[in-house]
Amino acid sequence: MSPGRRIVATAPAFLDGCKDAARALRAGVRRLIAASPEAITRATDLQHALSIRAPLAWQVFRLAKSPDELACIPFAPLPEAMARVFDAARRAGWPTPDIDRARRAYEAFEQFVARHADDRTTFDAMVSGLSGGFSEQVDARTRRAAFRASAPLWGLRAALTYRCLIAALDRPGSPALSAIIQGSGGVRALRPGRSLPICRRTITMTLADKNAPEFTPDTGGTGLLEDFCSANLSRVTTKRRGSVAHDFVELSGVGLTAETDVFLSTKLRTGLPDDEPELGVTSMVRVPTELYIADLLVPAGAMDPESATVRVYGCLEDVSGAETASLEYLLPSSHAPEYLGRSLDSLHSKDFPRGPELIRFVLRDLGRSREDFDIFRCRIPYPMLHTCIGLDVRRRHA
C-alpha cells in the first residue's frame, strides 16, 4: 500500500466484520453471566449480584439476551462502564477465565469500532443504516445528544412543540371550517435577545388588474389563544420575506424563571375534497425541543385508522426543501402513530395536560363542539432540528 492511501472497507465487508465482533462479544457476556454463582434470570438479578447501577445492569443483560448480533450493539456499554462490570465480577468471585474471555471479546469489539468510526454514536448509526433496519435506541440517543448540543448554540429550547389539524370534509351545504393549531410550551431563552418562531405562512395574491401596483397584504391577526399563553408574552411580530410571512415573539428574560408558553390557531375555510384520498398535518421543527406532539382530528368514520403513518423528511442541501414532503427527502425513522379513539380526554398527557381543554376551546370557536372525531397522534422525543414531520391518514375504502 502506497503512503497516504487506505484500504477502503466495502459495506458488505464492514457488516460481516461487525457481525463477527458483536457475535463474539455477545457470546463472551453470555458465558460470563452463565458462570455466575447466583442464578441470573433478570436484569435486577445481575444488578444485585454485582452491586452495579440498574441502567448498567439492564444494558449488559440486554446485550446478552439480544436476538441477533446487530441488535445487541446499541446495548454494549462504553469502555469505562464495561470495566466496572468486569471489576465487579472479579470482586464477586466470578470465574477468572470467563471474565478474561469476555474482556478480550469486548476489547476486540472496541478495536473494530475505533478502526471504522470516530466514536460509538457514529458507529451505532453506521450499523443501523447498513443493517436494513433502524434502531429506535440508537435514534433516540443520537437525537437527545443533538438536542443538548444545539440548544445552547441557538440560544433557546422548548419543552414541547405542538401541532394539530382539526380537519373538515368538503360537503355540499355545510361550511368546511378547519383549524391549524401551533404552539410551544416551556420555552426558555438561554441568552438575552432571542426570538421564538411560532408560525410561517405563504402569502398568495390574485389581482384582477395585472397592471395594478404590487401591495403588501395585512399579515396581522395571528389568532393567539391567549388563555393558553404566558402572561409575560411579548407582542407578536411579523416579518415578510418575499411571499413568506414569519411570525415570532421576542423572549423576555432568560432561564427557567422566564419560561414562555405560546399557542395560536388559524382558521381555514376549506375541507378535504371527496376525491382526495389522504389527509395529514406536517410541520418543520425550527426550535430545539424535548418533545414534539402532532395531533390530527378528522370527522368520525371518514378515515382508516390502520392507514396512519408518521414520516420524517430532511433536505441537507436546502433545509426548506423538506417542507415539500417529497419522497426523495424521506429519512429513516421508527416513529409510529397512535390512534386515540374518539374521546377528547384521550389527548391528556403529563407533557401537555391542557391539551383537551385547548382543543375544546378551538372546536367551540369553529362551531364544531358537538361533532365526533377520530383522533390520531404522534410523539417524537427530541425531534431532529430542521426536519419536517408528517402525520398522515388515508380515507376508508368505499
Pick the closest to residue 361 from 236, 237, 229, 233 (CA basis).
229
Specify the pLDDT at position 240. 81
Q: What is the 3-state secondary structure (H, E, C) of 107-174?
A: HHHHHHHHHHCCCHHHHHHHHHHHCCCCCHHHHHHHHHHHHHHHHHHHCEEECEEEEEEECCECCCCC
The overall average pLDDT reported for the chain is 85
What integer pLDDT is reported at residue 131 of this predicted model? 56
pLDDT band at 292 (very low <50, low <70, confident <90, very high): very high
SS3 237: strand
| Amino acid 393: pLDDT | 94
pLDDT exceeds cutoff 50 at 214 = no
pLDDT for residue 247: 80
Spatial CA neighbour of 243 closest among 198, 202, 199: 202
Task: Provide the 10 A C-beta neighbour count for residue 83.
Answer: 13
Highest mean pLDDT (candidates 131-140, 141-150, 303-312): 303-312
- What's residue 243's pLDDT? 73
Mean pLDDT is highest, among 196-200, 245-249, 350-354, for 350-354
**What sign has the CA pseudo-torsion 94, 100, 103, 109?**
negative
The class of domain 148-395 in CATH terms is mainly beta
Does the pLDDT of residue 221 top 50, yes or no?
no
User: Residue 85: pLDDT above 80?
Assistant: yes
- Give the residue-averaged pLDDT of 221-245: 79
Q: How confident is the model at residue 212 (pLDDT cuts 50, 70, 90)?
A: very low
Q: Domains of the chain: which residue ranges?
A: 11-133, 148-395
Residue by residue, DSSP assigns 88-102 as HHHHTT--HHHHHHH
What confidence tier does 217 reach under pLDDT thresholds 50, 70, 90?
very low
What pLDDT is attached to residue 72? Answer: 87
Q: Tell me the average pLDDT across 274-288.
A: 88
**What residues contact residue 262 under an 8 Å CB cut-off, 6+ apart?**
183, 184, 187, 196, 198, 224, 229, 230, 233, 249
> In the structure, what pLDDT confidence band is assigned to residue 248 with cuts at 50, 70 and 90?
confident
* Percentage, residues of the chain above pLDDT 90: 54
